[in-house]
Structure 1
């Protein structure tokens, strides 16, 4: 395990450029991003110490989506409204590690979705779509999804959906540096799942109170799960067959024009169907409170918030824990003819510097400070 002299330093740098065009009957979005993560780790007190480890990952991506509103098709003399969305993305991942060397791959996806409002059934909305994911290492996967929403009353609606989900292993899953206590698994396979969900949603007439109750079941093949192996080393492996059943409750409330709050709870029963072992924590509570206002002659937006969650009923004897995050954002109007605005954001992750073990012997990242800036051209 890490000795008292062990040191870890993480650095993240993220840049996003987004172009958006909004018209009465269509939206177009184009985004380019670049993420860099550098993890430095040194444990000079460990047995057979060979020096520090440096693990750097880079991701560059491009995404595009196009939404067309109010598409109509004449069905036996009636007009039915459609909202059609399609798009694609491409990502290049690169790894440079003192432990596992150099890796790279190129991945992509394309999707199309139609949201249909039948003219003769004004309380019903049907959504259907399909997404194709391609991974250079693992190949391609076609993932369909269909769902509907039915308004039972003015303030109450019922929704249900089902679809297939796909997740390829990340570079951390595959190539996490091996130190005798934790390590990646290059032999991992992608996980796939059939997800089913149904629920009720309440929104009052004023729109300032919202409540949801959802139930869901995910049947997962090759679930990627971090747990101790036969030698006690924490590493990910594929669970051949797993089932995740759950219930989610969500409450949102606008107390006045400045203060908003939310409360949520999720119960999970995640089991390995072959061994009946618990795979994920049973309980998660979340709480959030935010304050918004407009400041100065230019009425620039200001937001401050606190968000926290509690995780309990963890597997493998791990202790329960709580985390609280804080964030502030402020718009500033530049003195040009277009009244261009910039947005500054500052956040503190893990405000109280809690250090619960994410896996045995390895605490979660401590208090972290993040500063961001964005603007629209």
Structure 2
């Protein structure tokens, strides 16, 4: 059974070299068979995982030249994005037709998200600080707890590796008075790996709403700091720490005045790992995350919705035999909110402003030659809603050297948010302390074919979600949803050519009304194609999405659309590269959320420096 010593969060924190090139693989196969750590908390290649997994590495990130994080994931298999405009505006990233708050975000092993709304702040992730992204589609609650009904996306910041310090820097500018800049250093000794970088992004943006507020562009700025360090002692103990911190301002339309949100988005983690025996490794870590939003209307303070989360994790990897691997752990976290909304709440306060969750989980994997079995079980004890137990089983068959078949069944749940439970009674809305968690079960069949230079992955699934939370003036557990889908993903790296293709077919239905779930397109696709000509490269991305509905009543229709983005890069020498992109080439008008504009045709250029060893 091919496994590294420890788990997902461990590798995420300090070992980017593992993801860059797995031991014993060629550069081509490393590109197409990347190592991922999110599906099971164990380091394994995507081909070995009994789940639908997409990995976006640093090489692909630089090739795609994204302006915002959602540019990287939009249109990928099983992924749909809707937003209230571009550049730092509220964004929802859905997996497999589930809600955005059914999609768990991790940053270097740190759990992120707002405890009041339940959703994660995808719009504040800085692409330049990201080393890779792992998207695991399908339930992962039996490993990570609440919020992973649709799946998990983990973002890894950059890290150092053994070698002398290397400086990297970039400077870019483009349409909408956009500019960006950053500088970093990374390296390592025989004992210590380190990295530190800072980046800035600033844009005047576009007017996101035509008939609301003023006609001025709604800008966005983000300043981010990222750092990682790992130090190995003589006794085998390894100490590690990482931080990704972003703060800035995002404007929006509300009045004719100055309307904006000040935000802080941060993930901090530290801990140690050590071998207990030759077959048992353990890790203990503590983490802290922040999702803070202070809203200003016409330049005056309007509201504050801040979430702070503290967590402690104990993770163990035990090789019971050469073919039987056990991963088990405990985790505990406390969520705290600080809410001040004088106009909306009328002086009222939330009934509760903190709650804890304690959990134990175990994952066992059995390698039976051509067959691989996995089973996981997790028990959560939550201060508010009590106990919740979830589980998952998966089976894989290595049918040929290149073809693996898989099947899985899993249960998951989503805990009610602080707004759902404790929101003060403001007349037209109030919390309901009697709510129970939303629960789901998912069936999946999949197959992955991997040759030396190409791969194809296909999956069909059905998810049923019960006790969906909805309703005004008081939320209730009333709705049921059934989501069926087919996902196709493939790619190849053949000589100078590189391609990736994704297709998603989705049938997402509210079982009570028969309506389609809001903002779920029945068909979506993405195609990336790039070609290298020596020091020069060109490429493009085509995105297509069919019509959908903005609300659950299916009365407001969002038209389907297709866009094309073009890009090019030229290596001036081994250290300097100039990049350029033209987005929305045909200047399409489209909306992913009713009433909110997206950018028209736009051009950007960037000069990048990477010091060579």
TM-score range, shorter chain: 0.5 to 0.7
Deviation at 1:40, TM superposition (A): 0.9
Deviation at 1:159, TM superposition (A): 0.3
2:15 match = none
Decide which of 29, 38, 42 is 2:297's aligned counterpart: 42
TM-score (norm 1): 0.65
Q: Distance in 2 between matches of 1:138 and 1:68?
A: 30
Q: Distance in 2 between matches of 1:307 and 1:321?
A: 14
Decide which of 310, 314, 337 is 1:94's aligned counterpart: 337
Deviation at 1:16, TM superposition (A): 1.8
Post-superposition Cα deviations, 1:306-344, rounded to whole Å, max 9, x if no partner, equal 98865433223342467999xxxxxxxxxxxxxxxxxxx
Matches within 5 A, 1:195-344: 195-204=442-451, 206=452, 208-224=453-469, 238-255=477-494, 261-280=499-518, 281=520, 282-287=522-527, 310-315=544-549, 316=554, 317-319=556-558, 320=560
Q: Any conservation in 2 of the 1:63–1:87 contact (CA below 8 Å)?
A: no
SS in 1 for 2:323: strand
Decide which of 325, 347, 350 is 1:83's aligned counterpart: 325
Gaps in structure 2 of 5+ consecutive residues: 1-208, 215-253, 532-538, 566-582, 603-613
1:145 match = 392
Decide which of 102, 106, 110 is 2:360's aligned counterpart: 110
Distance 1:322 1:66, change over 3 A: farther
Q: Any conservation in 1 of the 2:469–2:479 contact (CA below 8 Å)?
A: no
Q: Any conservation in 2 of the 1:239–1:272 contact (CA below 8 Å)?
A: no
Return 305-314 or 81-90, whichever deviates more: 305-314
Q: Distance in 2 between matches of 1:284 and 1:174?
A: 35
Distance 1:306 1:29, change over 3 A: farther
Q: Distance in 1 between matches of 2:562 and 2:419?
A: 24
Deviation at 1:210, TM superposition (A): 2.1
TM-score (norm 2): 0.42
How many correspondences in the alignment?
303
Q: Are 2:263 and 1:21 equivalent residues in the alignment? A: no
Q: Any conservation in 1 of the 2:268–2:289 contact (CA below 8 Å)?
A: yes
Decide which of 356, 374, 378 is 1:127's aligned counterpart: 374
SS in 2 for 1:40: strand
SS in 2 for 1:279: coil
Return 61-70 or 239-248, whichever deviates more: 61-70
Decide which of 192, 196, 212 is 1:3's aligned counterpart: 212
Q: Any conservation in 1 of the 2:392–2:411 contact (CA below 8 Å)?
A: yes
Distance 1:125 1:217, change over 3 A: same
Q: Which has the higher strand share?
A: 1
Q: Distance in 2 between matches of 1:195 and 1:248?
A: 15
Q: Any conservation in 2 of the 1:40–1:53 contact (CA below 8 Å)?
A: yes
Decide which of 408, 413, 419 is 1:161's aligned counterpart: 408
Larger relative CO (CA 8 A, sep 6+): 1 or 2? 2
Gaps in structure 1 of 5+ consecutive residues: 45-50, 73-79, 292-304, 326-350, 368-377
